[in-house]
Structure 1
């Protein structure tokens, strides 16, 4: 394991939780090339490891990135192709923030060679670790459950209209997991969200990124889901220091627990 690139906490259950956008470290020399706005790391999936701090009760394996998505986006394919053709998004090594403002100072964006170097140094080790953990839990349990954990500001006009639902489940349009598993998770999410006065959607604006689409292979025993959360439901999303808000997070955590209850309570059909 490369401790410099990610943190890994192994559990004994079939659940693997990937947190590819929670990192805040920057590659050497990168800070001096970024705009002042980019240096706030606004587009980070803030506090995701803390929010899912209850996941140990599921025997979950936790894989979390240390480096910022501004170094390289671990939820994009290494080829750099768009996950949402025709829609606004950000790239493998983004040069703009979610709202479209520049990430780099003039003339400081990375060229193709630097992008390739970042893929080898930061992207590939994370994905090798993820593949290895999925293989490990599948060998032990006969199947693996991958939950890709994300968050985003509740309103980003460049990416979506209006306010994002509080919980956004992505299933690669019902292809990344067994249909019965997806149905059980969606039903549990909807019930729990309604009880807590929160909103939710399945396969809305976010249907799942590279990790969900690449590793979700139900025919091979790997079932993947992505969860994108509106950040104002558990933190102060508007300005640094982007503080965690336990008073808000508690309701959301109850819904997330219901989602993970349904996810981890499922078992493949026998025979």
Structure 2
């Protein structure tokens, strides 16, 4: 999907990494780690489930290079979200999830959205920092948890380029393939992009925040139905406040082409202790709720265009 975008990223990598392939040979130039992205299932339904921020493999060299403790580095992690999706996955949707953490490489940002202040080597002209990147929250973040600096020293730009090549690109290649296969099979596809969040008092502490980029990434009937299902189960919801959807939702959501993307943020205290990161006794309740939501969205998609 959007092959031109990925083509431009490949060209940028070729310029930064001369003589090195932009595609990744299995096991080449990668920290010994799990596969950066895991994909389960076949496109048996028009829904695709994804968890881009629940990865829990923190490379040792990265942790040692950080001025923050592992506990602080994990503060932005969407812990266990891929596990919350397992019952929903058994209903037939494909499941895509990253095994690396967002503090190491954030796939919910554009590839070259990077803060130039992070680097001690020249910055290529194709780097385009948004306000998020300039704030230190780009595809390779500079800060974590209350504006805390991650790194002891600035890094070579090559380090960021390698992370884009070895982590960002495999994730998006897998997600784009899953959505393309699903759309080809069913004529439509809905990405449920699953995240977790701290309490959001500015929005009245909702249990779920549904982000559809203010109606741009998902048909309103689908977003309305998702909100209805959650509210009927007794959950408090908010729409687009404080999270309207990041790069993934904006990039893959094209309702006019039958490609819908809905970002779903779940309040972490519903299913875990945020200090100890231990699952609480209501974990299974939220797991069931995600399954019910997914089942309802599958049914809605199958009937949306029916006469």
TM-score normalised by structure 1 residue count: 0.85
Per-residue CA deviations over 1:170-213 (Å, capped at 9, x if unaligned) read 11111111122222222222222x3xxx4211111101111111
Match for residue 141 of structure 1 among 175, 186, 207: 186
Equivalent in the alignment of 1:269: 305
Corresponding residue of 2:271: 234
**1:233 to 1:223, Cα distance in 2 relative to 1, 3 A:** same
Kept after mapping to 2: 8 A contact 1:89/1:98: no
Of 242, 247, 252, the residue aligned with 2:286 is 252
The CA deviation at 1:110 is: 3.2
Aligned pairs for 1:1-271 (under 5 A) are 4-11=35-42, 12-27=44-59, 29-38=61-70, 40=72, 41-80=74-113, 81-82=129-130, 90-105=137-152, 107=153, 109-154=154-199, 161=202, 164-192=205-233, 194=234, 198-239=235-276, 242-245=277-280, 247-267=281-301, 268-270=304-306
TM-superposition CA deviations, 1:70-121 (whole Å, max 9, x none): 22101111131447699x772221121132122222x1x4343322221111
Q: Which runs of 5+ in 1 are unaligned?
A: none
Q: Check whether the contact 1:31–1:39 (CA below 8 A) recurs between aligned residues.
A: no
CA distance in 1, matches of 2:184, 2:290: 27
Cα distance, 1:135–1:30 mapped onto 2, change above 3 Å: same
* Distance 1:83-1:180 versus aligned 2 partners, 3 A rule: farther
Largest Rg, 1 or 2: 2
Query: In 1, are the aligned partners of 2:229 and 2:293 still within 8 Å (CA)?
Result: yes
Higher normalized helix content (fraction of residues): 2
Contact 2:66 2:151 in 1 (8 A): yes
CA drift at 1:28:
6.0
Q: Which ranges of structure 2 fall in alignment gaps of 5 or more residues?
A: 1-23, 27-33, 114-128
Give the deviation of 1:236 after TM superposition.
Answer: 0.7
Q: Is the 8 A contact 1:20 1:74 kept in 2?
A: yes
